[in-house]
Amino acid sequence: ERELYVKVLPKKLDEEVEKLRNDFEAFKKKVEAGEIKPGDAFSFNNVYFETNRWDIKGVNLTELNNMANILYKKPTMKIALAGHADVRVTEAWNETLAQKRAETVKSYLVMKGISADRITIESFGERVIADPSSYAPNRRVEFRVLSK
């Protein structure tokens, strides 16, 4: 049975936003220090999508530009982009929606000059919930380092 969401308390939302901000910052520091390793997984700070949408409009491009810069500076690094969705529509559509979100992020990185063969796509649909008390944090794309 699909999980129902409850209203997010403002403090909980602030804590979640801060955790995600720290996650991508930790990734950037690990890259700079040469400590990144295959299998490391991170969240973007602000790569969230509108309900039932996969277009890049409305997505904060700062983190995607940061990722493009990192990939440009690390030409052997490969990543997997993982698309996610909330639970408001069917599981089948959420799988497709999550796939399209990851593909959109990949297209953006390719447009920024990153070779498409360095980016793999994964779709988790609604199977991996980031925050069971809110919809928005679940409409996201995360990434995992495949090779450094």
Q: What is the pLDDT of residues 5-16, one digit of tens each?
A: 444 444 444 554
More confident residue, 53 or 136: 53
pLDDT band for position 25 (cuts 50, 70, 90): confident
Residue 40 Cα distances to 55, 58, 72, 123, 146, angstroms: 26, 27, 19, 17, 8
pLDDT at 6: 41
pTM of the model: 0.77
